[in-house]
Amino acid sequence: MNPLYMALDVPTWKEARDFLDTNHLQQVPVKVGMELFYREGVHVIEQLKERGHAIFLDLKLHDIPTTVKRAMANLASLEVDIVNIHALGGSDMIARAKEGLISGSKMDRTKLIAVTVLTSMDEQTMNQDLHIDGGVTEQAVHLAKVAYENGADGVVCSVQEVEQMKANCGDDFLTVTPGIRLARSEKDDQKRIATPSIARSAGTDSMVVGRSITKAEEPFKAYQEVMKEWNNGASY
């Protein structure tokens, strides 16, 4: 598992390629989300793999179990590092997703992780808009248990929830944490955030970093700072 996946939150492969080349970010592990994948499709994954990038394909599948199983079997053939689903889809959907991933993969290398509670969501939103009672961490841990019991390899969660995820699902259960910011960066629309050093101390397996790198004046320097902070626990 790579410690960092940089979010390629751009609408076209040309913009992604130009950004990577201009800023000397060749072969950096990347996260490809809905915006880029829905525009470019499988082509963008093939191009990134040819250029040596490890990939987290962030599509957050959430549908009836049979549809998710079939979709995951197709995604498995791409042989990326990570794919994900929404844990809110329930136990049967999670189990079928894992079955699809296994059936469609030749190398059995792709990890299935489940989104628990989005890091853009706070307790008020969860309680009032979704009518889910309790605290965010309580709900996230509950969903992580459901994911673990049905074959998922890990979860997407906030850094603040990592310790409890490991305590409830074991040290080998992967935690992938978005909402990572260098100390000087803006929070933007993330509410549950942390710095790379805090993420490392908490036991995070892998970070997702977007705007702290992609919107920096010098993206390559920002990438180096993130990795240095992760490796050394230093603050900048």
- Kindly list the catalytic residues: 60
Residue whose pair of structure tokens reads 């008020």 in the numeric block: 124
In 3D space, the residue among 192, 202, 187 whose CA is nearest the CA of residue 118 turns out to be 192
Q: How far is CA 107 from the centre of its chain?
A: 21
In 3D space, the residue among 124, 76, 84, 83 whose CA is nearest the CA of residue 100 turns out to be 76
- Integer-rounded Cα radius of gyration of the chain: 17
CB-based contacts of 197, cutoff 8 Å, min separation 6: 229, 230, 233, 234, 235
Sign of CA dihedral 177, 182, 186, 191: positive
Q: CA 26, CA 171: separation in Å to the nearest integer?
A: 31
CB-based contacts of 69, cutoff 8 Å, min separation 6: 96, 97, 99, 100
